[in-house]
Structure 1
Amino acid sequence: MTKIHKSIRLCSDISQTCPECNYLLKSEDLDQNIDHLINEHNFKLKHVGQETTRDDVGENWQMTVALLVKA
């Protein structure tokens, strides 16, 4: 049998709903969002790091991202 994996990318500048229970994952609460997915839905944290993009005026914009997976 093939295992099905579910991946979730959290970001410190994007709010979203939890795909498992529709709990609001607020962008400013990244640490609590990670805890929610691990403790409530058995996800595993695979990566936390920085991502850089450009804002509306071309300046660097940095955010923290987290990648979680569930088998």
Structure 2
Amino acid sequence: MTTQNYYKGVQHTVYISTSMGVGCEHCRTQIAADRFAESTNHYIEQHGYKLLHVGAETSRDMDGKPWHSTVAVLGK
């Protein structure tokens, strides 16, 4: 499968990160930062999203030290 076809038709994306917890955009189920896999699977299984990207993200904490997070981008 080519990347070009995989992304075709994606009109909406969601961003999940281990550095923040939010509610599901569709059903308000709590998406906890410490439940990354469960949160990602929730969007896939309950709302028909597909995984577009998973990787690492580095930002800075309040003291300027590196803060590493795992992120996922899902779309449908």
Q: Same fold (TM over 0.5)?
A: yes
* TM-score normalised per structure 2: 0.85
For structure 2, which runs of at least 5 residues remain unmatched after alignment?
Answer: 1-8
Can you list the C-alpha shifts for 1:12-39, whole angstroms capped at 9, x where unaligned?
A: 0100000011100001000000110000
**Contact map agreement 2:10 2:75 (CA 8 A) in 1:** no
| 1:24 equivalent in alignment to 2:30 | yes
What are the within-5 Å matches in structure 2 for residues 14-53 of structure 1?
14-53=20-59
Question: Aligned pair in 2 of structure 1 residues 52, 4: CA closer, same or farther (>3 Å)?
Answer: closer
Percent of aligned positions that are identical: 31
Structure whose residues are more often strand by fraction: 1
* TM-score normalised per structure 1: 0.91
Aligned residues: 68
AA of the residue aligned to 1:5: Q
Distance (whole Å) between structure 1 residues aligned to residue 24 and residue 15 of structure 2: 11
Let me know the Cα RMSD of the aligned residues. 1.1
Q: Which runs of 4+ in 1 moved over 6 A?
A: none
For structure 1, which runs of at least 5 residues remain unmatched after alignment?
Answer: none
User: CA shift at 1:6, angstroms?
Assistant: 1.1
AA of the residue aligned to 2:29: Y
**Contact map agreement 2:51 2:74 (CA 8 A) in 1:** yes
Q: 2:19 maps to which residue?
A: 13
